[in-house]
């Protein structure tokens, strides 16, 4: 695991534009991640800093997500996973804030499924999610059938430990349906089999995990999939994330030597 923290240069004048141009040139022949996972954190702190409601902060974060996905798509990244609502959030957030956040996520899923040829997939447990949100997620996913563009995983009702437990549970249930023995089951529980039964089964693991707001922890996000990921932490709060932060993350990723234990 490699960790890097970044502070973004401020301003949007001539020097900033020159710096952006230099970054883009450096990335022309660089190796890009196939899969980027994002924890867009700091919406509530951003709202407090501007004297706004928490819901306003979450809406600003949702708008930034649209920008972020456009940057990823333009950079040729194939898969992006966004951590939007954890299993802990479902029980730990104020009911008014949670209600507003659920509405915003539903609207975001609907919007993203109409952009370019993007594909949306819900990754997470359906347990505890309201029916209106589940309908929005299902509709967004169905809309992307047959498309081949950017694959967007919306981690909603998601917990990394819950995901691993669910994967093992699926393996056990399917084995029981075939009438297999316990010894045979023990042989089935391998890293590759568990990976196949995760919410993201069949997808590449994230090469790069980005988190905003200066926090340096995973918060139960993609615990299994991020075993060999590179990590990049940005000081900016979620709604303040800028393209320069993203480009610097890509540049940093391209410079790392990924040995995978070798």
The residues carrying an active-site annotation are 41, 89
Rounded Cα gap, residues 83 and 121, in angstroms? 12
SS3 call for 30 = coil
Separation of first and last alpha carbons in the chain: 13
Q: How far is CA 108 from CA 31, 99, 207, 258, in A?
A: 30, 14, 25, 34
Cα dihedral 88/54/238/234 (nearest 10) = -70
Rounded Cα gap, residues 152 and 123, in angstroms? 10
Phi, psi of 207 (to 5 degrees): -80, -30
Looking up tokens 């996905």 gives 69
* Residue 32 · residue 247 · CB < 8 Å: no
* Residue 37 · residue 228 · CB < 8 Å: no
251, 243, 234: which is closest to 64 by C-alpha? 243
SS3 call for 178 = coil
* Residue 242 · residue 18 · CB < 8 Å: no
Rounded Cα gap, residues 186 and 246, in angstroms? 43
């Amino acid at each position: 695991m490699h960790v890097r923290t970044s502070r973004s240069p401020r301003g949007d004048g001539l020097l900033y534009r020159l710096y952006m141009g230099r970054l883009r040139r450096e990335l022309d022949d660089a190796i890009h991640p196939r899969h980027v996972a994002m924890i867009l954190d700091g919406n509530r702190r951003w709202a407090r800093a501007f004297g706004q409601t928490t819901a306003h902060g979450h809406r600003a974060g949702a708008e930034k997500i649209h920008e972020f996905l456009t940057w990823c798509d333009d950079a040729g990244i194939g898969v992006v996973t966004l951590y939007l609502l954890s299993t802990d959030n479902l029980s730990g957030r104020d009911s008014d804030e949670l209600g507003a956040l659920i509405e915003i996520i539903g609207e975001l899923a609907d919007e993203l499924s109409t952009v370019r040829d993007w594909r949306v997939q819900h990754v997470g447990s359906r347990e505890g999610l309201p029916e209106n949100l589940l309908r929005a997620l299902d509709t967004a996913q169905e809309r992307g059938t047959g498309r081949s563009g950017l694959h967007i995983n919306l981690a909603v009702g998601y917990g990394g430990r819950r995901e691993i437990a669910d994967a093992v549970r699926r393996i056990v249930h399917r084995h029981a349906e075939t009438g297999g023995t316990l010894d045979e089951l023990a042989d089935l529980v391998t890293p590759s089999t568990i990976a196949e039964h995760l919410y993201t089964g069949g997808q590449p693991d994230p090469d790069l995990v980005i988190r905003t707001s200066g926090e340096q922890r995973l918060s139960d996000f993609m615990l299994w999939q991020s075993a060999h990921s590179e990590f990049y932490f940005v000081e900016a709060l979620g709604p303040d994330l800028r393209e320069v932060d993203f480009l610097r993350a890509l540049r940093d990723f391209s410079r790392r030597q990924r040995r995978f234990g070798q």
